[in-house]
Amino acid sequence: MARCDVCGNDYDKAFSIQGPRGSGTFDSFECAIHALAPVCAHCRCRIIGHGAEHDGVFYCCAHCARHAGVDGLDDRI
């Protein structure tokens, strides 16, 4: 069995992820999101979907980007 890097649970169905934001072994998607998902620069929520990026800064949506002073990002076109 493998131990989750976030919660420490020793679980027979744990999985590993390797990606540009890091890597680790997790017992659930919840723990993987907690460890690897970027955080919105405006509201601080974890970005689980596509989100938006401007100059290397991540936002969960165009609304948060606008509040941070970013122009030209839209949630839909």
| 2-60 residue pLDDT tens | 999 999 999 999 999 998 888 999 999 999 999 999 999 999 999 999 899 999 999 99
Closest to 2 in 3D by CA, of 20, 22, 30, 28? 28
Q: What is the pLDDT confidence band of residue 1, given thresholds at 50, 70 and 90?
A: confident
pTM surpassing 0.85?
Answer: no
CA dihedral 55, 76, 68, 20 (to 10 degrees): -40
- What average pLDDT does range 62-74 have in this prediction? 91
Separation of alpha carbons 26 and 28, rounded Å: 6
Q: Is the pLDDT of residue 76 over 80?
A: no
| Domain residue spans of the chain | 1-36, 38-77
Separation of alpha carbons 37 and 68, rounded Å: 20
Closest to 32 in 3D by CA, of 43, 21, 45, 44? 21
